[in-house]
Structure 1
């Protein structure tokens, strides 16, 4: 089983390491901080992923974009994820005294764009009035929603839950760490592909494609199973049904994030 990936592999350097059976997932180099960048601490972070039909996903992508297909045990497929967390101390570097804390959900698909790997963002829910900035200043598909995320990382098993209106998930930690995840060659593979995309694209309000990037240390996720979950965003896109079970739930108590604001207009590379 392997992730089908086109394009050139990006070399990685050793900031934070995740050690796996004699190998390491090193993350990616941290770009230099710029005065206009933003940063935040993410609490109760979880990636709730679903297997979807690549053809159904492809219908929502611009020209030059394609689903990143995986080889599952019973055939090919693609993945989408709802990434939910609580922002703590989100602020722009030039204005550290103005910080916010709120819930957030990002809805993304794993794709290639003209051969480059990353994620396509269908939209974001944010539980704060500052949602108006990405909406109107950068034309991003963000909306305001009430979001409640709770977690107990000390309980046995650890528990995590999301309540955001019709979007919800209740999950508990597995007794043992995963040794296999359908569609991936091993833990090193899914840590790199599923938890560490750093480039993202989205459809702007004016119809054009925007792009931006982020950085975070290599994750050390804990592995959960969902007792129940529903994400109407993916249902409305025709990617899942209301009773579709998640493919996986990877979670972490906290994670630092750098956001390389502002987003910019995506320009497809010229053909040679």
Structure 2
């Protein structure tokens, strides 16, 4: 990997800044991180030069890591008006990168699909690359076995149609391919607290989140079709991407610190 210092879930990394104002608290359900192996040369054009790809070695070559992250916002609510709540499906597309200015491991968001009229707020007001979609989950969680017996997600009528079917082992991960140790891999893949992206006006935007350390189980892909990756030339049409890992959590709490901010002039 293009970093040699082991990473750990330190107190600073897990510390929660109390939300206020228009910050958001939300409970996420059916949270999955489906990480794909992608040719670095194909993903670099999507990312501002300020950010360096986090790369791993696998089967004699270097790969970038791009995760498709579907989930259901169960009770999306602004902390200053907690009685107003929204429920909707969402899917994020993120690449793991290092910020050359700070040295932080962060996520670069290519975009988000969101199944709610409320997508118009971040789309138009803050110019986030968020897009309206129809997202349907068909999930059954076995509380006794602490794993999913069924996990299906389909996104349609979107800039990024997708179809996913996963199996769930119910077991925590013991290793992650390409990482020197498990905790480093989990920090990279499950705990980027800052996200950067190209705004719809071409400038760079950023927002921050908080969640506790995830307690994921290992999943496997039965079906994974992502039209966005096909359109960007990262996967051949009709083919599934090579999968690095699947991590699943039934439920977790997130805080989103708003509003997002503009951090750079953008594309160069």
Q: If the length of structure 2 is used for normalisation, what is the TM-score?
A: 0.87
1:62 aligns with 2:48: yes
1:253 aligns with 2:253: no
Q: Name whichever of 173-182 and 248-257 sits farther off.
A: 173-182
Structure 2 unmatched ranges of 5 or more: none
Q: Determine the C-alpha separation between the residues in 2 that align with 1:28 and 1:4.
A: 24
Count residues with an aligned counterpart.
254
Tell me how far 1:243 sits from its aligned partner.
2.7
Q: For residues 223-266 of structure 1, give each alpha carbon's deviation from its aligned partner in whole angstroms, at most 9, with x where no partner exists.
A: 11011111111221122232324221111000100000100001
Partner of 1:17: none
Q: Determine the C-alpha separation between the residues in 2 that align with 1:266 and 1:34.
A: 21
Structure showing the higher strand proportion among its residues: 2
Q: State the Cα RMSD in Å.
A: 2.3
Q: For residues 62-87 of structure 1, give each alpha carbon's deviation from its aligned partner in whole angstroms, at most 9, with x where no partner exists.
A: 12122111122422111001110000
Q: Determine the C-alpha separation between the residues in 2 that align with 1:245 and 1:56.
A: 14
Structure 1 unmatched ranges of 5 or more: 15-26
Q: Name whichever of 232-241 and 151-160 sits farther off.
A: 151-160
Q: Name whichever of 257-266 and 189-198 sits farther off.
A: 189-198
Partner of 1:134: 122
Contact 2:166 2:222 in 1 (8 A): yes
1:202 aligns with 2:197: yes
Q: Of 149, 174, 190, which aligns to 2:137? A: 149
Contact 1:73 1:182 in 2 (8 A): no
Q: Of 158, 169, 173, which aligns to 2:149? A: 158
Q: Tell me: CA distance 1:33–1:157, structure 2 relative to 1, closer, same or farther (3 Å).
A: closer
Q: Determine the C-alpha separation between the residues in 2 that align with 1:96 and 1:118.
A: 29
Secondary structure of the equivalent of 2:243? coil
Contact 2:203 2:264 in 1 (8 A): no
Tell me how far 1:8 sits from its aligned partner.
11
1:71 aligns with 2:57: yes
Q: If the length of structure 1 is used for normalisation, what is the TM-score?
A: 0.86
Q: Determine the C-alpha separation between the residues in 2 that align with 1:50 and 1:68.
A: 13
Tell me how far 1:132 sits from its aligned partner.
0.3
Q: Determine the C-alpha separation between the residues in 1 that align with 2:249 and 2:141.
A: 9
Partner of 1:168: 163
Matches within 5 A, 1:40-59: 40-59=26-45
